[in-house]
Amino acid sequence: MKILEAAKLYKNYGNKFNKQEVLKGLDLTIDKGEFVSIMGASGSGKTTLLNVLSSIDKVSKGSIRIEGSEITQMKEKQLAEFRKSHLGFIFQDYNLLDTLTVKENILLPLTITKTAKKEAEQRFREIAQELGIYEVKDKYPNEISGGQKQRTSAARAFIHEPSLIFADEPTGALDSKAASDLLNKLSQLNQKRNATIIMVTHDPVAASFSNRVIFIKDGQIYTQLNKGEESHQTFFKDVMKTQGVLGGVQYEH
């Protein structure tokens, strides 16, 4: 089942005298339950693509349907409502509120949707335990590690059970162990909850945790890799090789 269908996406910046075309007629579909990574060199359009798919930015031209709803035609108020119930976000810099505890940060999406207290408590306990942060629930962001902050951010993205979760360089500010812990948790949540995740990353290690990697070049899809039955290590090597070719560097191992 297709959860996201994007067709003929164009995104331009500037004016008619100085126009920069970032996305150039890109087509993309994502199935429910997929964990997809988007990779590409700086300036390739990967972050712009994530921003327009997630409704953070608007396309210049094209169609984006999420669960059958055409988001490019929505007014701002409609979009805000759609985001609240259908979309989750994990940012590189966590975006946690310093004045709230870990638990309060995670519960924010349910507060906005006025979920019953008993259900909210149950959902919080489940997601916090799955992500290994239940024991720090009463601490504030400045009292926990970077890895714990990002897992708090992930829990906040998952708690209202959105249709799609967008992750923008979620391991960018983490050391290798914290990054690996987060990616393992995301992979487990993807499988256990059938959650659909779209992640932008420059890191082939992070990308190798996904089922499919889409490589963007000059505002269009250059190529794609499907993990299939490959081992994690083999898929990582394939991602490295493709990234090397894309960047003009041949991979020799």
Does residue 69 lie within any of the structural domains? no
| Mean pLDDT estimate for the chain | 93
Q: What is the mean pLDDT of residues 202-208?
A: 94
Does residue 14 lie within any of the structural domains? no
Domain carrying residue 200: 33-58+74-247
Does residue 41 lie within any of the structural domains? yes
Closest CA to 145 of 135, 158, 130: 135
Does residue 68 lie within any of the structural domains? no
Return the CATH number at 185.
3.40.50.300
Residue pLDDT, tens place only, 213-237: 999 999 999 999 999 999 999 999 9
Calpha distance 143→161 (Å, rounded): 27
Residue pLDDT, tens place only, 17-31: 888 999 999 999 999
Q: Return the pLDDT at 245.
A: 87
Residue pLDDT, tens place only, 123-152: 999 999 999 999 999 999 999 999 999 999
Residue pLDDT, tens place only, 26-53: 999 999 999 999 999 888 999 999 999 9
Between CA 71 and CA 83, with CA 77 as vertex, the angle to 5 degrees is 55
Q: Return the pLDDT at 18.
A: 86
Residue pLDDT, tens place only, 68-106: 999 999 999 999 999 998 999 999 889 999 999 999 999
Of the two residues 245 and 214, the one the predictor is more confident about is: 214
Residue 14 has pLDDT above 90, yes or no: no
Contact predicate 102/137, CB 8 Å = yes
Q: What is the mean pLDDT of residues 184-188?
A: 94
Contact predicate 111/156, CB 8 Å = no
Does residue 5 lie within any of the structural domains? no
Does residue 26 lie within any of the structural domains? no
Phi, psi of 24 (to 5 degrees): -130, 70
Q: Return the pLDDT at 171.
A: 94
Q: Decide: pTM greater than 0.85.
A: yes
* pLDDT over 70, % of the chain: 98
Tokens of 38: 């988007």
Calpha distance 204→207 (Å, rounded): 5
Q: What is the mean pLDDT of residues 149-157?
A: 96
Does residue 144 lie within any of the structural domains? yes
Does residue 47 lie within any of the structural domains? yes
Placement of tokens 């990697």 in the chain: 213
CA distances to 19, 95, 99, 131, 206 from 211, rounded to whole Å, are: 35, 27, 37, 20, 11
Between CA 63 and CA 54, with CA 45 as vertex, the angle to 5 degrees is 45
The tally of domains found in the chain comes to 1
